[in-house]
Amino acid sequence: MTPKKPLLIFLVLSTAVVFFTVLVGMVLAPDTIRIGPADFGDIDLSRIPDGTYYGSADAFMARANVAVRVEDQQIVRIDLLRHVHSNGEEAEAILPRVIAQQCLKVDVVAGATTSSLVLLKAVEDALRDEEAGG
């Protein structure tokens, strides 16, 4: 064998392992969501009674659970109960933006897009059922 053959075999096997890992992840986690910035609707806070509401969201490589406190038709607090991410801790800065702007249509954090979207989706999940009447 020439020195190039072991390298070629290594590259082929490495690529196959990565492909297989992604494929298995997609098959074993079919309930994960695929979300984009346009997937968020407006939440009518006037229809949500005062209280604390819990929501969650999952996407490939990110998961979040939140508690959202609503008082006087405003989001006053968002507690991050759980945030599983590969490299998206910076996305947590999006939660104060939601409170400041009182909506889900806020800019995502560059470099942590998936985690940002999962956090937004968890907040939406917390409020959506209550808006619809529980």
Single-letter code of the amino acid located at 111: G
The span from the CA of 129 to the CA of 113, in Å, is: 25
Single-letter code of the amino acid located at 31: D
Q: Give the domain range for residue 107.
A: 37-131
Same domain for 23 and 47, yes or no, is: no
Single-letter code of the amino acid located at 133: G
Same domain for 124 and 81, yes or no, is: yes
Same domain for 26 and 41, yes or no, is: no
What is the number of structural domains in the chain? 2
Tell me how far apart the terminal alpha carbons of the chain are, to the nearest angstrom.
Answer: 68
Same domain for 74 and 126, yes or no, is: yes
Same domain for 15 and 46, yes or no, is: no
Phi-psi region of 75 (alpha: psi -120 to 50; beta: other; left: phi over 0): beta
Contact 85, 24 (CB under 8 A): no
What pLDDT score was predicted for residue 2? Answer: 55
Same domain for 82 and 110, yes or no, is: yes
Q: Which of 85, 90, 25 has its CA nearest to residue 57?
A: 85
Q: Which residues of the chain have pLDDT under 70?
A: 1-3, 19-40, 130-134
Same domain for 76 and 13, yes or no, is: no
What pLDDT score was predicted for residue 32? Answer: 46
Residues 93-109 have pLDDT tens digits of 999 999 999 999 898 88
What pLDDT score was predicted for residue 24? Answer: 55
What pLDDT score was predicted for residue 37? Answer: 53
> What is the CATH classification number for the domain harbouring 76?
3.90.1010.20
pTM of the predicted structure, to 2 decimals:
0.71
Within the chain, residue ranges assigned H as helices are 4-28, 94-101, 113-131
Same domain for 61 and 7, yes or no, is: no
Same domain for 14 and 41, yes or no, is: no
Same domain for 49 and 83, yes or no, is: yes
Same domain for 118 and 67, yes or no, is: yes
The span from the CA of 100 to the CA of 64, in Å, is: 20
Same domain for 23 and 52, yes or no, is: no
What pLDDT score was predicted for residue 30? Answer: 41
